[in-house]
Structure 1
């Protein structure tokens, strides 16, 4: 009775043309950088922290798109040498750096916003309003461009969320500009900057949390390892499943490995095929490594094959 190590190889690509992703991301990048440059100048002239904070947010938008473009290129390189998965996690490094940058900017804009609430400087409301309205239009177009790219990538999704949050920030800035223009209440600009900071904090924490889960090799949020183990052991001829591990190679590419014990007279290859179909069709896990062995005649099946199994052992009731 020999172990049967089998590897199921499902689709490893995101299913969207890489060149199309690059084209849409590049268009969005050009729009953002062009408007950001104008916004910094207008923000300084108008004395508006809301506009400058929006520009800071747009800078991270641009950085996230640049990193996404770099990560797409790196991830496309074939696996070689010690990098057996290639450089697919370059996008996760990028997403985490992006999230940390957002959190740092949040701290700075929060400090500046509170300072301006205490001692508000003069603000040109009409100029803030016009610039914010143009920013809303630019962000709508940029968000549409990025929505055409492959958003199953954490990096591309991160860039999209940046643009979307920036759109909401520009709406808040436009409202602040209108209030300052009509009423002279200059603290509205600082309040808008604090709204932008809150949106940046939400987006930044989301990116840090999701990229952290991938680095810690946690299971995807939509996959419950406990339920998967129960389903696997419910397949005909399966006696026990242990050493069950589910993780993500990169965003949108879940992987699974497990040690499976089957009835002494069962066909290991047929059982493996049924397990792989279940994982592929029921959980969209196409990259699987299943070690199939025959169980012995005793009830101490795990101990015979593994001195110490990792995680819960799933057995037939």
Structure 2
């Protein structure tokens, strides 16, 4: 329920304020996300060890690169699981929005790790091109096939989770990079088996690294936008103002609209709305919040409704 304050000013304007919130401060964390990420982390960690061993034995950079990427996958998934676990904690007087932002911070870190992995792969690939090594294509092929199967299973597990969540998106990007890495390793193994041309191994590794860079940049950009309090991409403050004025006849003006988000699933907004002196405030506040929820899916809105003369 909003609270109402009335003030008399010498300038002759009667300002009344109503602040209301159509939301719940409790953290909104999908337990399904947490369970799926935890299981995906376990599968990834187990096969990462097998793939690293296979890459070392066969001498394949493509396999070692994929295992290195799987290591960051495991770390990313484990951190995501931890983020979901922490985000379940209730809001406190020190953290009034709860701990949902922690998951966005972890997503940002995951994006940075993708850049690091891509850089290490490119560095090693350049060295391999100048100093080629022996590659045992047979073991390389079978380990790469096993890696592809595991990645497909993990990808399917994560597809059942909430795709709007940045941590889930980050995990999916990691796994997609791994799948491409496994495919590259399979192609490289087949070419080496048929032709004996080992440079294909580091060449395809660089191709995978470029794809990893693209995924990492997208994750860093989206998570940084939220951390910097950027407006959600689907919310245009000008459109919101026009929509409210068109559908709530009591409104004279809508000003000072500020939009941001705690996570992609939790957009927030504050605004000031002006009505005629004789207008009741609470119904207008309720109508604004209902419209914001219905049309723009904003569950948390702080609305300041004030009276002023139509001539102002």
Aligned length, in residue pairs: 298
1:228-260 residue CA offsets vs partner (Å, 9 max, x unmatched) = 222123231211122111111122110111111
Q: Using the alignment, how far apart are the partners of 1:13 and 1:156 within structure 2?
A: 20
Asked whether the equivalents of residues 14 and 152 of structure 1 are also in contact (C-alpha less than 8 Å), the reply is: no
Q: 2:107 aligns with which of 84, 95, 106?
A: 95
After superposition, the Cα gap between the structure-2 partners of 1:13 and 1:21, relative to the gap in structure 1 and judged at 3 Å, is: farther
Q: Please state whether the residue corresponding to 1:293 is helix, strand or coil.
A: strand
Query: CA, structure 1 residues 119+52, in 2 after alignment: closer, same or farther (shift >3 Å)?
Result: same
| Counterparts in 2 of 1:280 and 1:195: CA distance versus 1, 3 Å | same
> Which of 281, 284, 292 in structure 1 is aligned with 2:305?
292
User: Residue in 2 aligned with 1:260?
Assistant: 273
User: Any conservation in 2 of the 1:132–1:173 contact (CA below 8 Å)?
Assistant: yes
Within 5 Å, which residues of 2 pair with 1:275-286? 275-286=288-299
Which structure 2 residues correspond to residues 129-168 of structure 1 after superposition, within 5 A? 129-168=141-180
Structure 1 unaligned regions, length at least 5: 300-317
1:269-292 CA-partner distances (Å, limit 9, x unpaired): 222222112211111111100100
**How far does residue 62 in structure 1 lie from its aligned partner after superposition?**
0.9
Further displaced range: 44-53 or 258-267: 258-267
Which SS does the other structure have where 1:222 is aligned? coil
Cα deviation for residue 13 of structure 1 reads 7.4
Query: After TM superposition, what 4+ stretches of structure 1 lie above 4 angstroms from structure 2?
Result: 11-17
Supply the distance in 1 between the matched residues of 2:126 and 2:22 (Cα, whole angstroms). 54
In structure 2, what is the Cα distance between the partners aligned to 1:274 and 1:220? Answer: 22
Which position in structure 2 is the counterpart of 1:180? 192
Secondary structure of the residue aligned to 2:257 is strand
Alignment partner of 1:58 is 2:70: yes
**In the alignment, does 2:236 pair up with 1:224?**
yes
Q: 1:153 to 1:11 in 2, by over 3 A?
A: farther
The equivalent residue for 1:308 is none
- Partner SS, residue 21 of structure 2: strand
1:33 aligned to 2:34? no
Alignment RMSD: 1.8
From 127, 141, 162, give the equivalent of 2:139: 127
Unaligned runs of 5+ in 2: 1-13
Contact 2:111 2:220 in 1 (8 A): yes
Contact 1:16/1:150 (<8 A) preserved: no
TM-score, normalised by the number of residues in structure 2: 0.90
Distance 1:298 1:86, change over 3 A: same
